[in-house]
Amino acid sequence: MHWIHTSSGLLPLDRMLTVTLVSTCCLLFSEATSDVTSPKILRPKSRKIKASLGEPLVIPCKADPGFTDDLTLIYWLVNRSFVEHAYPDGRIRAGPEETKTRGSRTFMRRDLVFQQIAREDFEATYMCVVTNAAGIDTRELRLKRYGERRNPDPN
């Protein structure tokens, strides 16, 4: 085994090389991703969305992609399944992906579109997902019947 003398004593060569390699990789990664940030969902802010039975509804998901939007995905899940698989009839669908730039900031948006709210829609969980190489952000929400009040806890 070969040893290297450091200011803190002797280290095995393989350990010193490992430390050097890891440090170099971390430095390179931090320099390469200095302008890259994780995406952030801006809307919807509420985790409960008011809806009326039998009525149409549009829930926007607006996000800051963190960096170039062509490297960022934005999509909706219903009960942890893609909307297209959960509702092949299109009663609930994800709208087209939209990108807008205001000044130096870019925003992405994708709506969840309900043709008509059904009873089972109040039992489902909806999730907007925005992801890129730097990270992921999710916003989970449920529908609340318009005019419905929370029941007080009986305990």
103-137 pLDDT per residue, tens:
888 899 999 999 999 999 999 999 999 999 889 99
pLDDT in tens, 26-63: 334 444 445 678 899 999 988 999 999 999 999 999 99
Three-state secondary structure call for residue 155: coil
With cut-offs at 50, 70 and 90, classify the pLDDT of residue 14: low
Burial class, 86, CB count within 10 angstroms (exposed 0-12 / middle 13-18 / buried 19+): middle
Lowest mean pLDDT among 11-15, 22-26, 55-59, 63-67: 22-26
With beta carbons less than 8 A apart as the criterion, state whether 111 and 92 touch. no
For residue 119, the SS3 value is helix
Of residues 80, 69, 75, the one with CA closest to residue 130? 75
Mean pLDDT rounded to a whole number for the chain: 80
Per the model's pLDDT, the better-predicted residue between 119 and 69 turns out to be 119
Rounded Cα–Cα distance for residues 52 and 68 (Å): 37
Pull the structure tokens for residue 14: 């393989």
For 32-91, where are the E strands, in sequence order?
40-43, 48-51, 57-64, 73-78, 81-82
Residue 151's pLDDT is 55
Question: What is the 3 state secondary structure string of 16-28?
Answer: HHHHHHHHHHHHH
Q: What tokens does 21 get?
A: 């390699």
pLDDT of 17 higher than 90: no
Q: Which amino acid is at 140?
A: E
Kind of pairing, strands 135-145 and 48-51?
parallel
